[in-house]
Amino acid sequence: MKSWRSLVIPLENVREIVDFIFRRHEGLYGEKPKVIASAPGRLDFLNTHQDYKGLPVVSVAINKRTYVALSTSKTRSKAVSINLCDEGVECADTFSANNPTLVEEGWFGDYIRSAVKALRMKGYLIDDFNLTIYSEIPIGSGLASSAALQVSLVAGLNALFRLGLERKDIAEIAYQSEHDVMGIPCGRLDQYGSAMGGVTLIETKPPFTTKTLVRKDILFTVLDSGIRHSTGSIHPVRISELKQGVRELLLLDDLPGDLRNMLKEDIYALEWGRLDYQRIEPYLHRINKVSMKRIVFTFKMHYSTILALRLLEDSSSIDTREEVEAFLRSECDECLSKTGLEANSFLRLLGGLVNYQHVLLRDLYDVSLPRLELIRSKALEAGSYGVKISGAGLGGSLLGLVGSEEQAIKVLKHTSGLVRSAWIVSVDEGVRVELEP
């Protein structure tokens, strides 16, 4: 098992949290934990709502993490969530690692049981264990709290039972746990983003390759609206709307044969990247309006992500900057910040693309809400270069791209009366083991 050490969070903070969960675990079970693992939350940075279509997405791991402490058990497995206990709700789950059947939708223990089941389905022997969970990531805030839990848990079980898993294995098993075992129609963004860390491009079709971009000069604010949502209530609806649109396109007698051959009702199997938007765009006006919006969203979101990646990978390229500027002037002139025109054109252009993607989420995917728009407006007024929904939408958090901690503090002050909580976050590494056997 590899050790993954922190590169971003001050060591003193990590030690405080590790000592805290160490003591709580010992108090709960009367023995010291053998393993402590952690995984970060993530910002859904670029190409939101595209992973379940097989398109690449870009995640940012942040220095808000979920920690798990584990030790072996001689009886049944037991899991305790410190956060839920502190909230005064049911916070303990007991089950057999040999037969981890799911209980009911919404039960926190199912995230633990499903991870064990996913490992056992892969042939890994998991004995009973004691588990303590502590998370800095609010549930339902759009920061992938469930993925951070499952990624940290799989990493912890990997260390405890010496399974020999690598980061990508951990990400894939965590994905299978939520998608295949629990039946939640998510893509791989959350699990791979949490496991790999950094600013990571994730290919969501086999072999699910990743590329981590080194950008330590990016700072974010996270604005938690306090409106809770469920990915499981959003994704199936949008998938159904996309499928209906494809069905209607296939019924058009004059649709060119090469376009027809690329269309599939299985939107994950459909090769969006090969479709020529300019050629198919006239036919979209002949299908129902909702499905048309969802399909147009898919093309425009993907193209703006390609531009953003070029900017991230070579922010000094004059050609790339001019291309992004021209694109935004044409598509969404109001998306470009009017502050810092000379001081930091890289952040201004990247923020413009972030704003553009939010506009697509709001106008073509219908996953914003009036309260989210008010928070976003205030954050932009305070100097954010770009603000967008992070996660599925209809609640959760907004991410804001800022140029300095001073600017971030101004944003937090300007939105303080509208949000449940807010943070300034930096880019963090992925899953790691804090304490090994």
Interior angle at CA 277, CA 275 and CA 281, nearest 5: 125
Q: Are 390 and 221 in contact (CB under 8 A)?
A: no
pLDDT value of residue 232: 62
Name the band, by pLDDT with cuts 50, 70 and 90, for residue 2: very low
Question: Does residue 160 lie within any of the structural domains?
Answer: yes
Q: Are 279 and 256 in contact (CB under 8 A)?
A: yes
Residue range 74-99, pLDDT digits in tens: 999 999 999 999 999 999 999 999 99
Residue 196, domain CATH? 3.30.230.10
pLDDT value of residue 8: 37
Q: What mean pLDDT do residues 245-257 have?
A: 97
Longest CA–CA separation in the chain, Å: 72
Q: Are residues 210 and 239 in the same domain?
A: no
- Three-state SS at 46: strand
Question: Does residue 173 lie within any of the structural domains?
Answer: yes
Tokens of 166: 């690598």
Question: Does residue 222 lie within any of the structural domains?
Answer: no
pLDDT value of residue 121: 96
Edge-to-edge strand order for the sheet containing 219-224?
A: 386-390, 397-402, 219-224, 421-426
pLDDT value of residue 256: 96
Residue range 351-386, pLDDT digits in tens: 999 999 999 999 999 999 999 999 999 999 999 999
Q: Are residues 153 and 241 in the same domain?
A: no
Q: Are residues 204 and 79 in the same domain?
A: yes
Distance CA 238, CA 232 (A): 11
Say which residue, 105 or 397, is predicted with more confidence: 397
Q: Are residues 209 and 285 in the same domain?
A: no
Q: Are residues 335 and 194 in the same domain?
A: no
Question: Does residue 223 lie within any of the structural domains?
Answer: no
Question: Does residue 403 lie within any of the structural domains?
Answer: yes
Question: Does residue 226 lie within any of the structural domains?
Answer: no
Name the band, by pLDDT with cuts 50, 70 and 90, for residue 3: very low
Q: Which range marks the domain in which residue 301 is found?
A: 231-426
pLDDT value of residue 7: 33
Residue range 172-219, pLDDT digits in tens: 999 999 999 999 877 788 999 999 999 999 999 999 999 988 677 789
Q: Are residues 249 and 208 in the same domain?
A: no
Residue 300, domain CATH? 3.30.70.890
- The total domain count for the chain is 2
H runs (alpha helix) in 188-336: 189-196, 235-250, 257-262, 277-284, 289-313, 318-331
Q: Are 428 and 9 in contact (CB under 8 A)?
A: yes
Question: Does residue 124 lie within any of the structural domains?
Answer: yes
Q: Are 48 and 388 in contact (CB under 8 A)?
A: yes
pLDDT value of residue 184: 85
Residue range 387-414, pLDDT digits in tens: 999 888 898 889 999 999 999 999 999 9
Residue 10 has pLDDT above 70, yes or no: no
Q: What b/e readout covers 117-148, taking b as 16+ CB neighbours within 10 angstroms?
A: bbbeeeebebebbbbbbbbbbbebbbbbbbbb
pLDDT exceeding 70 applies to what percent of the chain? Answer: 94
Residue 103 has pLDDT above 90, yes or no: yes
- Three-state SS at 288: coil
Q: Are residues 238 and 328 in the same domain?
A: yes
Residue 29 has pLDDT above 70, yes or no: yes
Q: Are residues 115 and 258 in the same domain?
A: no
Distance CA 92, CA 157 (A): 18
Q: How far is CA 247 from CA 153, 293, 404, 432, in A?
A: 40, 15, 48, 44
Residue 243 has pLDDT above 50, yes or no: yes
pLDDT value of residue 315: 87
Say which residue, 106 or 199, is predicted with more confidence: 199
Q: Are residues 276 and 376 in the same domain?
A: yes
Q: Are residues 356 and 314 in the same domain?
A: yes
Q: Return mean pLDDT, the chain.
A: 92
Residue 9 has pLDDT above 50, yes or no: no
For residue 66, how many other CB atoms are within 10 A of its CB? 27
Question: Does residue 59 lie within any of the structural domains?
Answer: yes
**Which of 124, 7, 21 is closest to 435 using CA atoms?**
21
- Three-state SS at 58: strand
Residue range 294-329, pLDDT digits in tens: 999 999 999 999 999 999 999 889 999 999 999 999
pLDDT value of residue 4: 30
Residues with Cβ within 8 Å of 345's Cβ and at least 6 positions away in sequence, in order, are 321
Q: Are residues 130 and 254 in the same domain?
A: no
**Which of 138, 34, 30 is closest to 83 using CA atoms?**
138
Q: Are residues 137 and 247 in the same domain?
A: no
